Amino acid sequence: MASPDSPLTVAAALQRAVARLADAGVPDPEVDAELLAAFVLGTGRGGVQAAAIRRDALPADAAERLERLVARRATREPLQHLTGLAPFRHLELRVGPGVFVPRPETEMVAQLAIDALRAAASASPVAVDLGTGSGAIALAMATEVPHARVFAAENSVDAFVWTKENFARAGADNAELAFIDLAHAFPELDGTVSVVASNPPYVPDAAIPRDPEVRLYDPPAALYGGEDGLDVVRVLSGVGLRLAHPGGTIVIEHGEWQGEAIRALLTADGWRAAATHPDLTMRDRATTALRP
C-alpha cells in the first residue's frame, strides 16, 4: 500500500488490479477492474475513468475494499456475485449464489420474445417465461410491453429467493411469479398464451464449461440438460403446445450447435415455421416456432 505521504491514486489502484486479474486469466481485466472500483466508490465506470485521468487519490478504506474484491475476482468468482448486480437490457437484477447469472447474449432472446409479444393481436397479450431464474426475460417482457400480462415460473428454491427480490425491485404490476414445476405450470392459461419463452439448461452433461465462472458458480440445474442437452427443451415443447393459442410463438435459447436439432424436435411435435436466430456474434442463439 502507498504511504500516507504518497496516497494511492485511482489510476495506480486500477493498474494494480488489472495486472492481478490479467495474471489470473480473467477476460477483459480492465473492464472488471473499473467496474469493481466503481462499485467500491459508488459511481459509474465513467466516473472511475475520470478519476483516474484526474489522478484522484483513493481513500485507504476504499483501496482495501477494492483489493479484497480483486482478490476474490482473481479466483474467478463472478463479477456479478461480487457486486450483487447483473445488468440486463434496462434492468439491474440482483444475483448471487444459487441463481444463473444472465448473459448479454440472452438480451437478444428477450428481444425475440418482446417483438412477438408486441405483434400479438390482443389488447392484453399473455406471455410465460418458464424457468425464469433471475427473472431476466420475464421482467424485460413485462416492463417493455406494459400492456401485456407476464407469468414466470421457477422451480429452484435457491434461485427463487433472487427471483422474488427482482420482481419486487422491478415493481411491474403486470408480472406474476410462481414457484411451480415447469411441466405443470399455469394450467389456467392453457390455450391463451401468445409467447412462451425460456432460457433452459441446455449444456450436455458431458460438456463441462470451460470458464470457471460458469463451471464453479452457476447452479448445475441451470446448466445441464441431459445427454444431448435437450431434455428440458423436450418438456418446453410440450408445455408450450399446451399453453399457446394458435399462432402463438415459442422462443427457446440454446447453444450454437443445437439449432438444427431443436428445429427438428419442435417440428416433430407439431410446431410450424421453426427458425433459428443468431446473436450479435453471429452464433446461433435461439429458435422460434409457431403454434399451429
Annotated catalytic residues are 100, 199-200
Helix axes 29-41, 45-54, angle to 10 degrees: 90
Beta carbons of 252 and 280 less than 8 angstroms apart: no
Q: How far apart are CA 189 and CA 187, in angstroms?
A: 5
Q: What are the start-end ranges of the H helices in the chain? A: 10-23, 29-41, 45-54, 60-74, 79-83, 106-119, 136-144, 157-170, 212-217, 231-243, 259-269
Beta carbons of 200 and 230 less than 8 angstroms apart: no
Amino acid letter at 81? H
DSSP 83-148: HSEEEETTEEEE--TTSPPP-TTHHHHHHHHHHHHHHSSSSS-EEEEES-TTTHHHHHHHHHSTTS
